A and B are shown apart, each in its own frame.
Chain A
Amino acid sequence: MAQGIREVKRRIKSVKDQRQITKAMKMVSTAKLRRAQDQAQAGRPYAQKVQQVVASIAAGNTSFKHPMLQTRPIKKTGYIIITSDRGLAGGYNGNIIRKLIQTINENHKSQDEYTIFVIGRKGRDFFVKRNYPVIGEVVGLPELPSFADIKDIASTAVKLYADEQIDELYLCYNEFESAISQIPQVNRLLPLQSVDSAETGSNYEYEPDAEEVLASILPKYAETLIFSALLDAKASEHGARMTAMGNATDNASDIIDRLTLFYNRARQAAITQEISEIVAGANAQV
């Protein structure tokens, strides 16, 4: 019995240590979540403005035949998937990877029909290990990513589309809804959905001309959408990790409670037994 008690005591200690770590991680994620949300907020004016300009051009001149606005027969599809570099974020990576694989299985018969760009170490490892056609990757993004960090992969993807190497481009990421809920999304990025032109802004003059302006803005627009998805995904990552670590902390507390109860019971039983042994011994001597 004494052996069992010591073992339980050691487990309590070890679970307590784990709880300390998960608790710390939860608090760190909470702080990072707030910063990530701030950053997503700071990026919004840019995205809105770009969209507004694109919308007003599209609304003013419907005669444009820019390749990025046109649907063409689909021979090859590109997917950009945003995952995290680190684990311990609950279902964050699993959910989005599963969603993408499901989409791929539904829509494609062979690997020649699609290609994948991965952001984040977890997704990279997963797809590379399983021999998926990964043609671009970004790993080790900083905590607060800057536009320059993903510019390369974004413009590569947009360029492949412009060169007709791929005929559509999808963006897969966890959309941030709240700290406890992130929704895996697979959204079509290119060709651009008809931009919402409800806001009929001013009638612009274009310098040098509308077509050229559109040609320079549309790729930027696509890159901006990728960047804001990344910021959203970062916020989701921290939210997911915060929730996962919160649950882990709660579970650790439960386990500690249970073990402590068991420990106290065992200890009391041992004492009781010892007393009754002494009493029995004393009685026997009289």
Chain B
Amino acid sequence: MSKLTVEIVTPERVVYSGEAKMVIVRGVSGELGILPQHMPIVSPLKVAPVRILFEEGKETIIAVSGGFMEVSDNKVTILAESAELPGDIDPDRAEEAKRRAEKRLSDKTSDLDIKRAEYALQRAIMRLDVSQK
């Protein structure tokens, strides 16, 4: 069976690159599982963990925010504003960010602030999620 090549790229560096059996992402319209021979597809992604499944039943989880995915020729490319492997995440910092975002949300100021706080909160929750796995 053919394999998928997976690459996760941010503007600063290539975060992850390797082979996999399956990639599971959360697109804006729902969860997507990508297997080899998938047809070419482009989809923006939600702030959510990306799961990369390997042949031996192992898996890697990567925290991805502000990105989109492109699949073509058995190659999955995820372009994101930020992407972190579980080991790169500082749980204390994420916890702190979560508290800050929650506080800002409960204070309620202008529209834009709420949007940004919600986005920050999502990211913090996702990071905590990923780091605990």
Residues on A close to B: CB < 8 A?
39, 42-43, 45-47, 49-50, 53, 57, 146-148, 151, 201-208, 212-213, 216-217, 220, 224, 227-228
Q: Does B70 contact A (CB under 8 A)?
A: yes
Q: Does B33 contact A (CB under 8 A)?
A: no
Of A146, A202, A205, A208, the residue contacting B12 (CB under 8 A) is: A146
A50 to B39, CA, bound (A): 19
Q: B70 near A45 (CB under 8 angstroms)?
A: no
A213 to B41, CA, bound (A): 11
Of B9, B12, B73, the residue contacting A49 (CB under 8 A) is: B9
A134 to B58, CA, bound (A): 53
- Interface-side segment among B24-32, B47-55, B102-110: B24-32
Q: Does B77 contact A (CB under 8 A)?
A: yes
Q: B42 near A206 (CB under 8 angstroms)?
A: yes
Q: B28 near A212 (CB under 8 angstroms)?
A: yes
Which of the listed residues A39, A205, A207, A220 has the most CB atoms from chain B within 10 Å of its own CB? A207
Closest beta carbon of chain B to A136's beta carbon, Å: 15
Chain B: how many interface residues by the 8 Å CB criterion?
A: 25
Q: B11 near A204 (CB under 8 angstroms)?
A: no
29 A-B pairs with CB atoms under 8 Å apart are A43-B13, A45-B14, A46-B9, A46-B10, A47-B11, A49-B79, A53-B42, A147-B11, A151-B81, A202-B72, A202-B73, A204-B40, A205-B39, A205-B42, A206-B42, A207-B27, A207-B29, A207-B43, A208-B28, A208-B29, A212-B28, A212-B44, A213-B42, A213-B44, A216-B44, A217-B42, A217-B44, A217-B68, A220-B66
Smallest Cβ-Cβ distance to A52: which chain B residue? B70
Q: B10 near A147 (CB under 8 angstroms)?
A: yes
A205 to B14, CA, bound (A): 25
Closest beta carbon of chain A to B116's beta carbon, Å: 10
A201 to B72, CA, bound (A): 9
Residues of A close to B70: CB separation below 8 A? 49, 53, 204
Residues on B close to A: CB < 8 A?
9-14, 27-29, 32, 39-44, 66, 68, 70, 72-73, 77, 79, 81-82
Residues of A close to B28: CB separation below 8 A? 207-208, 212, 216
Residues of B close to A224: CB separation below 8 A? 11
Residues of A close to B39: CB separation below 8 A? 205
Residues of B close to A147: CB separation below 8 A? 10-12, 81-82
Closest beta carbon of chain B to A231's beta carbon, Å: 9
Closest beta carbon of chain A to B124's beta carbon, Å: 14
Residues of B close to A204: CB separation below 8 A? 40-42, 70, 72
A217 to B14, CA, bound (A): 19
A221 to B88, CA, bound (A): 26
Once A42-B12, A43-B12, A227-B11 are accepted as A-B contacts, the answer to whether A148 and B82 lie under 8 Å apart by CB is yes
Q: B42 near A46 (CB under 8 angstroms)?
A: no
Of B11, B27, B42, the residue contacting A57 (CB under 8 A) is: B42
Residues of A close to B27: CB separation below 8 A? 207-208
Q: B44 near A46 (CB under 8 angstroms)?
A: no
A220 to B28, CA, bound (A): 16
Closest beta carbon of chain A to B107's beta carbon, Å: 20
